[in-house]
Amino acid sequence: MNRNDVTEKIISTKVLKGIKWEAVAKKLGQSKEWTTALCLGQMTASPEQAKLLGKIFGLTVEEQKWLQVVPYKGSLPTPVPTDPLIYRWYEIVSVYGSTIKELIHEEFGDGIMSAIDFSMDIQRQADPKGDRVNVVLSGKFLPYKTY
């Protein structure tokens, strides 16, 4: 058994029972973004969170233990994603990557926006011309220092 097996079981159960990620998140008291990433095998659960997920998805004790092990991260099967929704995000990095780099450096100097001390919030924004997906990314700026 490994973490992938647990992820697959969670997804299968979700499909069968028609569970919503948002509902899972509420039971855990965490954001739907972090909770979904956890269920998809990208984050690490505390023992209490693992127990709660165990109830929701009918996981054994061993499966709950796997949720507490730090996973090998990376959720995509290919370096350039083939799925159209995910590809659009890759395209944003490809087309706007140099722009993002220039503007963060112009504001903050040399360094990066952390992908670890990081959070994400995805919301529907109603719009008469067609609703929009609004995403807020927030990452700590980490400066390169001289030494």
* Residues in 31-60 at the binding interface with a copy of itself, rule: CB under 8 A: 31-34, 36-37, 40, 42-44, 46, 49
Which 118-137 positions form the footprint of a copy of itself (CB under 8 A)? Answer: 118-120, 122, 124-125, 127, 129-137
User: Using CA atoms, how far apart are residues 71 and 80, in angstroms rounded to an integer?
Assistant: 21
Number of residues that bind a copy of itself (CB under 8 A): 101
Collapsing DSSP to helix, strand or coil, 94 comes out as helix
Q: Which residues pair with 111 in a beta bridge?
A: 143
Element (H, E) at 84: helix 84-108
Neighbours of 6 (CB within 10 A): 25
Minimum distance from residue 55 beta carbon to a copy of itself (Å): 18
| Residue 27 makes contact with a copy of itself by CB under 8 A | no
- Nearer to a copy of itself by C-beta: 46 or 55? 46
> Which are the catalytic amino acids?
88, 91, 114
